[in-house]
Homo-oligomer: A and B are copies of this chain.
Amino acid sequence: MNEGEIRLNQTTQEWVIYAPLRRFRPEDFQAQTNIEATVIDNNHNCPFCAVSEEIILEMHRKSSDSWQTRVVLNKYPALIPLGKPKRKTEGMYLTMPGYGSHEVIIEHPQHDRHLALMDLEEVETTIETYHQRYLALMADANNLLVIIFRNYGKKAGASLKHPHSQIIATSVVPQRRRWQEEAAQRYFDRLGECVYCDIIKHELETCSGRRIVGENETFIAFVPYAAEVPCEVWIIPKLHQADFGSITPKEKKDFASLLKDILSRMYYKLNNPDYNYVINTNARYKAEEPQVHWYCQILPRLTTTAGFELATGMSINPSLPEIDADFLNS
């Protein structure tokens, strides 16, 4: 079997991706952990320092001849754009091919250049690369959702140190995203407003900015009222925008500037923590809707998800958003 597979959990209606190209035997798991740990700090064998794959997109800084970002296919893709995303029954179960895309954005030629410490133009080029690949992947009508994310550090699931982000396009909409859409829909139907727009207004005005950690003309950054983890931060466009694909040139600059600012504060104040960030945007066909709103969610990995969280989806946060905001602002 060369293609991947996506199976439905009938008890939760959640899809699970099986990634055969990443597959190793169960008995390899312990060893694998050690291999990954070795690779992380080693730049001699780094596959992003010397790219052997076909380069999908390469971007340059204005001020330089050298490339700054490169996009390549993930060598161990979770999903690949082969065949058609057709469902098939297996007895009482449902399965489908692992249709989708999985790309890596190499953010810099330099192996140990932290995104948190890049200059503004470098971060802008990274965001520009995100945007171009987002639009390109959304041009395939089979892709229903495009998720851009960054895993930084071992606790965040990164297996390579070289600065990079990833983009996964899926041909199914995750159940969790549907739940979020439904919550937003109910809010809109009741109150006639986008819940995210209301949160932005509430955070800026009613709460006198006590959870705000950054602001410029088109974006705010804040610790959400119900943050899942200590020092979680959302960066969100002030004007209603459902789809990351709709971001304007001015907004890209402002987003890059705030992202750089927050990451560098985390870097210094939290001693270079592992983190994930993700651009939570919306599924195709929701892109014009008045009730959903994209945002970038930064999740430092300072605590460990344990049995209670896995079972219930409820987080236990040992800090408090207001304390975290004060800390990030201090």
Contact = CB atoms under 8 A, between A and B. Distances in A.
Nearest to A175: B313
B198 A92 contact: yes
A286 to B, nearest CB: 14
Given A92-B202, A187-B10, A225-B93, A16 B314 contact: yes
Interface string A3-35: 001011111111111111011111101100100
Contacts of A14: 226, 313-315
Nearest to A234: B11
Interface string A283-316: 0000000000000010100111111101111111
A221 to B, nearest CB: 16
A101 to B, nearest CB: 12
Contact of A306 (B151, B320, B324): B151
Contacts of A30: 270-271, 273, 302
A163 interface: no
B227 A310 contact: no
Interface stretch (A42-50, A152-160, A241-249, A252-260): A152-160
A306 B276 contact: yes
A125 interface: no
Contact of A10 (B158, B168, B179, B195): B195
A244 to B, nearest CB: 12
Chain A binding surface SS class: mixed
Task: Determine how many copies of this chain the complex contains.
Answer: 2
Given A297-B311, A312-B177, A154 B26 contact: no
Contacts of A168: 308
A2 interface: no
B29 A302 contact: yes
A17 B48 CA distance: 40
Contact of A307 (B8, B157, B314, B320): B157
A196 interface: yes
A22 B318 contact: yes
A33 B150 CA distance: 22
7 contacts: A12-B179, A13-B183, A23-B318, A26-B323, A92-B202, A151-B306, A297-B311
